[in-house]
Amino acid sequence: MIQSSLVKKITETKNFLSSQTSLKPQIGLVLGSGLGPFVDFLENKTVIPFSSIPGFSSTTVAGHSGALVYGTLKSDGGAVDVVVMQGRVHYYEGHELSEVVFPIRVLCSLGIKALILTNAAGGLNPSFRESDIMMITDHINLTGLNPLRGPNEATLGPRFPDMTEAYDRRLLEIFKSTAEKESLELKEGIYSWYLGPSYETPAEIRAFRVLGADATGMSTVPEVIAARHMGIPVAAISCITNLASGITSQKLTHEDVVQSAKKAVHKIFTLLKSALPQI
């Protein structure tokens, strides 16, 4: 059977990674802005810079270390082998969407049984506060872009994948019950994907709120689409690092976003450490 160029690239990358580690991860995890230190909880780590992995692009954004980390996460709930993206690349950095989601396609091809995404997001819901954590229950793609544009690779997934349950209900229940057990306040809401890199205007934020969005950010949605295309269950958690433009008069900077993410680190790390072994 003749492989497509995409499948060939995925196979090449898988072969490279298998030469670096013998670990067979069960969970894929993407760490957003300021959340990279979560890998410090892993044992028996293998760290592979994005720059050395075939097909991966290097990230240019502060707070995104740009490494793939294999390891074992242990907690009171058990142990699980994971593969972690310590940072991600974004469309606004100049990458094509196919490049943005290529690492996700590789993770999904490694035999993982779930993909967990994290990000930094601006809060639109007036009940949200800086350093809240929000479980994404659905999303709104505000960009008009889709990583599945172009010829479909049928060996990876269907031409028209269903997105009724983009965020897996079983995984969401695990995170909800874990948050209750750990006495963590876990918000729930709808995430909207905005291209960036400029922050939204107050008028845009008002429009997003009318559409039903509770938070907004510059990542995650294309990764969810690619993973669901390949049949992998997904859950996603947002760190609410700031209140969006117009909700507050404070001017926004990426440095502030990274610092605010650090304030939510304990909460999201506690949630991940306890929930992942249950998946």
Decide if 79 is catalytic.
no
Choosing from 64, 70, 167, 199, the catalytic residue is 64
- Which residue among the candidates 75, 92, 109, 182 is catalytic per the annotation? 92
- Choose, from 93, 153, 200, 223, the residue flagged as catalytic: 93
Out of 213, 218, 261, 275, which one is annotated catalytic? 218
Options 57, 119, 219, 238, the catalytic residue: 219
Q: Does the annotation mark 179 as catalytic? A: no
**Residue in 57, 242, 245, 260 annotated catalytic:** 242
Spot the catalytic one: 90, 121, 179, 191. Answer: 90
Strands 78-86 and 67-75: antiparallel
Residue 229 annotated in active site: no
3-state secondary structure the chain: CCCCHHHHHHHHHHHHHHCCCCCCCCEEEEECCCCHHHHHHEEEEEEEEHHHCCCCCCCCCCCCCCEEEEEEEEECCEEEEEEEEECCCCHHHCCCHHHHHHHHHHHHHCCCCEEEEEEEEEECCCCCCCCCEEEEEEEEECCCCCCCCCCCCCCCCCCCCCCCCCCCHHHHHHHHHHHHHCCCCEEEEEEEECCCCCCCCHHHHHHHHHHCCCEEECCCHHHHHHHHHCCCCEEEEEEEEEECECCECCCCCHHHHHHHHHHCHHHHHHHHHHHHHHC
Residue 266 annotated in active site: no
Catalytic option among 67, 120, 215, 261: 120
Residue 104 in tokens: 């996700």
The reply to whether 139 belongs to the active site is no
- Among the options 33, 57, 125, 238, which is catalytic? 33
Active site residue 33: yes
Pick the catalytic residue from 58, 146, 152, 254.
254
Calculate the dihedral angle through the C-alpha atoms of 133, 136, 139, 141, rounding to the nearest 10 degrees: 50
Question: Could you list the active site residues?
Answer: 33, 64, 90, 92-93, 120, 218-219, 242, 254
